[in-house]
């Protein structure tokens, strides 16, 4: 028996994804098309590949969208169940909220907006070998000052949870993936907001519980911002991030069914061209995500951008680091640079914009 065969998985997908607006006005963040499929599909593919079958999704915002798409999970070789969070409970509260659905003695908890290459077998094995109450996936990063840091002792036990500091004592950060004993989940207060970082984990340490650290340096990315979202999608397309849900071979680009890329157009850098989307002659699309039905006209430039379903980009327009909502239209000759966001169905007339941070 592998270490993951008698373990549940819990994926927390209740956030509103405000940092990714306007894209998340029409879909929850984990359901946004990412390298050709909903982002959550990539995580579920890794869970299934690790041998875990029972998965509980903790939902809230647009909860019905998840079950409508994934159903009972049988098409993925999974047994999916759903628990709706009626009011915001924070991470700890959301974990406690799914307790009644757990079947196994241990559960791997995933934040639904993390793209990771961590070895799930090794994570669970480390948890079992240490007889830990909770095991945290700790990621080594180049700049830990941007995060809270989590030091461990020589035996791998977590010794503290530290807030952001200019000079952190370790490069290990909380990577948003945990293994919990079921009994620890039950001990979290029910029916209210609970922060795992500020309440659950420090409380466990204070009580003498064994909180273990699984330290890793594999691929890891929080896709909560537009910049990270396009990078994550491109890394999946290029095979830099792990998945078995990619609807095509890895490479410089991915074109879905019915997509048209004209002769003389360039689609590079791990870009995805959605179903029925069109890229005209002379256009250049680099490191970007084009949702279904997008149209990019002749000689337009789209770099490091996300274009919502049915968006239109006019001839010679330039978009760099931009987010277009569903159905938005950017006229010919417009130039939108890093940080610009165009709301759904908004129309920018030909040549009307040279730069904008928010449209």
Percent of the chain with pLDDT over 70: 97
Domain boundary, last residue among 206, 222, 238:
222
Residues 6+ apart with CB under 8 A from 8: 52, 54, 55, 56, 102, 103, 104, 106, 107, 108
Q: Are residues 203 and 257 in the same domain?
A: no
Q: How confident is the model at residue 349 (pLDDT cuts 50, 70, 90)?
A: confident
**pLDDT greater than 80 at residue 4:** no
The whole-number pLDDT of residue 1 equals 59
**Is residue 243 domain-resident?**
no
Q: Are residues 189 and 72 in the same domain?
A: yes
Q: Are residues 186 and 49 in the same domain?
A: yes
Domain boundary, last residue among 177, 205, 222:
222
**pLDDT greater than 70 at residue 222:** yes
Q: How confident is the model at residue 185 (pLDDT cuts 50, 70, 90)?
A: very high
The domain spanning residue 323 has which CATH number? 2.160.10.10
Q: Are residues 218 and 276 in the same domain?
A: no
Q: What is the mean pLDDT of the chain?
A: 91
Q: Are residues 200 and 270 in the same domain?
A: no
Q: Are residues 36 and 158 in the same domain?
A: yes
**Domains identified in the chain, total number:** 2
Q: For 138-164, write each residue's pLDDT tens digit.
A: 999 888 888 878 999 999 999 988 877
**Is residue 231 domain-resident?**
no
Q: Are residues 212 and 281 in the same domain?
A: no
Percent of the chain with pLDDT over 90: 70
N residues, the chain = 359
The whole-number pLDDT of residue 236 equals 96
The whole-number pLDDT of residue 85 equals 86
What residue numbers bound the domain in which 331 lies?
252-348
Average pLDDT over residues 198-206: 92
**Is residue 353 domain-resident?**
no
**pLDDT greater than 70 at residue 357:** no
Average pLDDT over residues 216-241: 92
**Is residue 2 domain-resident?**
no
- pTM equals 0.90
Q: Are residues 39 and 131 in the same domain?
A: yes
**Is residue 17 domain-resident?**
yes
Q: For 280-337, write each residue's pLDDT tens digit.
A: 999 999 999 999 999 999 999 999 999 999 999 999 999 999 999 999 999 999 999 9
Average pLDDT over residues 35-60: 93
**Is residue 240 domain-resident?**
no
Q: How confident is the model at residue 353 (pLDDT cuts 50, 70, 90)?
A: low
The domain spanning residue 118 has which CATH number? 3.90.550.10
**Is residue 244 domain-resident?**
no
The whole-number pLDDT of residue 82 equals 93
CA angle centred on 222, ends 139 and 171, rounded to 5°: 25
The whole-number pLDDT of residue 354 equals 63
Q: Are residues 192 and 328 in the same domain?
A: no
Among 256, 261, 271, CA closest to 305: 271
The whole-number pLDDT of residue 103 equals 94
Q: Are residues 169 and 292 in the same domain?
A: no
**pLDDT greater than 80 at residue 2:** no
**Is residue 33 domain-resident?**
yes
Q: For 76-105, write each residue's pLDDT tens digit.
A: 999 999 998 888 888 899 999 999 999 999
Residue by residue, DSSP assigns 145-181 as GGS-B--B-TTSBB---B---SS-S-SEEEEEEEEEE
The whole-number pLDDT of residue 358 equals 52
Q: Are residues 139 and 198 in the same domain?
A: yes
**pLDDT greater than 90 at residue 24:** no
The whole-number pLDDT of residue 5 equals 73
Q: Are residues 193 and 257 in the same domain?
A: no
Element (H, E) at 94: helix 90-97
CB atoms within 10 A of CB 76: 18
Domain boundary, last residue among 182, 207, 222:
222
**pLDDT greater than 60 at residue 44:** yes
């Amino acid at each position: 028996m592998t270490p993951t065969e008698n373990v549940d998985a819990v994926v927390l997908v209740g956030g509103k994804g405000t940092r990714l607006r306007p894209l998340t006005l029409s879909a929850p963040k984990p359901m946004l098309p990412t390298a050709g499929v909903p982002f959550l599909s990539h995580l579920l593919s890794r869970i299934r590949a690790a041998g875990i079958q029972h998965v509980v999704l903790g939902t809230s915002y647009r909860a019905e969208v998840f079950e409508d798409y994934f159903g009972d999970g049988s098409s993925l070789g999974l047994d999916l169940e759903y628990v709706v969070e009626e009011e915001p409970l924070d991470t700890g509260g959301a974990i406690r909220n799914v307790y009644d659905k757990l079947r196994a003695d241990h559960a791997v908890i995933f934040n639904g907006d993390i793209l990771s290459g961590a070895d799930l077998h090794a994570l669970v094995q480390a948890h079992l070998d240490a007889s830990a109450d909770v095991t945290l996936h700790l990621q080594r990063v180049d700049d830990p000052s941007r995060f809270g840091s989590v030091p461990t002792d020589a035996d791998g036990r977590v010794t503290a949870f530290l807030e952001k500091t200019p000079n952190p004592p370790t490069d290990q950060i909380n990577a948003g993936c945990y293994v919990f004993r079921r009994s620890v989940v039950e001990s979290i207060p029910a029916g209210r907001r609970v922060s795992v970082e500020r309440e659950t984990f420090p409380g466990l340490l204070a009580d003498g519980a064994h909180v273990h650290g699984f330290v890793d340096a594999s691929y890891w990315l929080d896709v909560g911002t537009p910049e990270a979202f396009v990078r994550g999608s491109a890394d999946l397309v290029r095979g830099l991030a792990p998945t078995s849900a990619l609807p095509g071979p890895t490479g410089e680009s991915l074109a879905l069914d019915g997509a048209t890329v004209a002769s003389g157009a360039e689609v590079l850098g791990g870009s995805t061209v959605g179903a029925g989307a069109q890229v005209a002659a002379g256009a250049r699309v680099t490191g970007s995500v084009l949702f279904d039905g997008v149209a990019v006209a002749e000689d337009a430039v789209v770099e490091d951008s996300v274009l919502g379903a049915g968006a239109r980009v006019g001839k010679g327009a330039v978009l760099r680091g931009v987010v277009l909502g569903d159905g938005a239209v950017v006229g010919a000759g417009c130039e939108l640079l890093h940080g610009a966001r165009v709301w759904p169905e908004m129309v920018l007339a030909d040549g009307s914009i040279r730069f904008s941070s928010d449209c």
